[in-house]
Amino acid sequence: MLKNTEHLLEIMARLRHPEQGCAWDLKQDFTTLIPYVIEEAYEVVDAIERNDLDDLRSELGDLLLQVVFHSQLADEKGLFDFEQVAASICDKLIRRHPHVFSDTVFASDEERHQAWERAKAEERKEKHRSAAPASVLSGVAASLPALLECEKIQDRAAHHGFDWPDTLPVFDKVMEELEEVREAWKSGDRAHVQEEVGDLLLVVVNLARHLQVNAELALKESTKKFSRRFQYIERQVEASGRTLADCELDELDRYWNEAKRALKKT
């Protein structure tokens, strides 16, 4: 493994060689590589969801390349190198797992989780020690998908006591926010509608969190389900020699209900 890692680092250094390297690689910087980091992370997720383990191996390699690429850029600027990146995560893992790497014993998973959160809070405080006092929400990346960012922000707040004590009030809050969307819609104020829809989405994420459901994955699965059902409608319409535009909504809705029954197990 070490030999292959060293080879990868050598290849990356060669690609960035001012005279012998690749013109495209030489043009890149931290900012231009952002879309590729995000894309490769999502492709790893896609391979996992498809249970394609051969593709997973390949996609993990592509994601690793992004780590190596950024490390090479940083090394060229005298900031840090790949070894320091690896050392950083090693230190972090050991620090966050005292029950594995020291004689600490936790009485329950909840106690272990609380210790994990305390360790992360200390890391955030250390990171911001020379700046203004860090918020407990500091460190949640703003570039995360909106649902995931929302969930992480709410998790942080809940860990510090800002949360409903049980799930039932969250259902009530969802209905309250839904009614506020309706009222905003009646007002015709588009900016207000957007604000209230955002509030509704936020509380739905909170409900998902209380139900121990990952909102990002749940929406992704529902979107896939919608796509399968809609494609069923397309096939039925095509078989009739027509286009979607030729059909009344009532007919398309009947096909939708057929799709729900036909694709129930898929």
The pLDDT tens digits for 120-172 are 777 777 766 655 556 778 778 777 889 989 999 999 899 888 999 999 999 99
pLDDT at residue 1 in the model: 57
User: Over the stretch 212-261, which tens digit does the pLDDT of each residue have?
Assistant: 999 988 998 899 999 999 999 999 999 999 999 999 999 999 999 999 98
All residues at 6 or more sequence positions from 153 whose CB lies less than 8 Å from its CB, including other chains: 137, 140
The class of domain 2-96 in CATH terms is mainly alpha
Q: Which residue has the higher pLDDT, 80 or 46?
A: 80
For 27, phi and psi rounded to 5 degrees?
-80, -15
Residue 2 reports pLDDT greater than 80: no
Closest residue by Cα to residue 69 from 30, 116, 125, 118: 30
pLDDT at residue 266 in the model: 53
- In total, the chain counts a number of residues equal to 266
pLDDT at residue 118 in the model: 80
Percent over 90 (pLDDT), the chain? 69
pLDDT at residue 47 in the model: 93
All residues at 6 or more sequence positions from 145 whose CB lies less than 8 Å from its CB, including other chains: 216
Contact 28, 73 (CB under 8 A): yes
pLDDT at residue 120 in the model: 76
User: Over the stretch 69-126, which tens digit does the pLDDT of each residue have?
Assistant: 999 999 999 999 999 999 999 999 998 898 899 888 888 888 888 888 788 777 777 7
CA distance 110 to 120: 15
Contact 203, 177 (CB under 8 A): yes
pLDDT at residue 108 in the model: 87
The predicted model gives 32-57 an average pLDDT of 92
pLDDT at residue 265 in the model: 58
